[in-house]
Amino acid sequence: MYASSECYFGLNLNPICSPADVAYTLIPTMCYFEFLPVQSGSSAAAGEPDHRDLVNLVDVKLGKEYELVVTTYSGLYRYRVGDVLRVAGFKNAAPMFNFLRRKNVALSVDADKTDEAELHAALAS
């Protein structure tokens, strides 16, 4: 299950897959999903997004990275969750997403600052 304190977002429809292959299908009745395009590998902080750049759930493109933006029934309006997702495929026309990382998260050790994308790349090599 892909969830946060704000809302349940999606389910892994293939629970016996390897952890590296987990993809979540979002549940469209839990909240209204929008997506802010993210440049691949970008971790730079951004100001308020231009809402004209937001992409609806049905308009996401395979292989593209997006920051998740939700409007919930409890009153959050266009809330930037901070998760960066990649479109991994489609199940009956519903997009499936891989969780990539949290946006603007850094590991701080002494004077060194390492963002999550760099840490994942170092562990993979």
Domains along the chain with CATH numbers:
2-124 (2.30.38)
How far is Cα 31 from Cα 71, in angstroms, rounded to an integer? 6
Q: What is the pLDDT of residue 69?
A: 92
- pLDDT tens for each residue of the chain, 125 residues long: 888 888 888 899 888 988 888 999 988 888 999 999 987 555 545 556 566 789 998 999 999 999 999 998 888 888 888 889 999 999 888 899 998 888 876 666 655 666 666 767 777 87
* Torsion angles phi and psi, residue 71, rounded to 5: -120, 120
Q: Of 23, 31, 18, 37, give the one whose Cα is nearest residue 94.
A: 23
Q: Of 92, 101, 88, give the one whose Cα is nearest residue 28.
A: 92
Query: Within 10 A of 38 (CB to CB), how many other CB atoms are there?
Result: 20
Q: What is the pLDDT of residue 36?
A: 93
Q: What is the pLDDT of residue 66?
A: 94
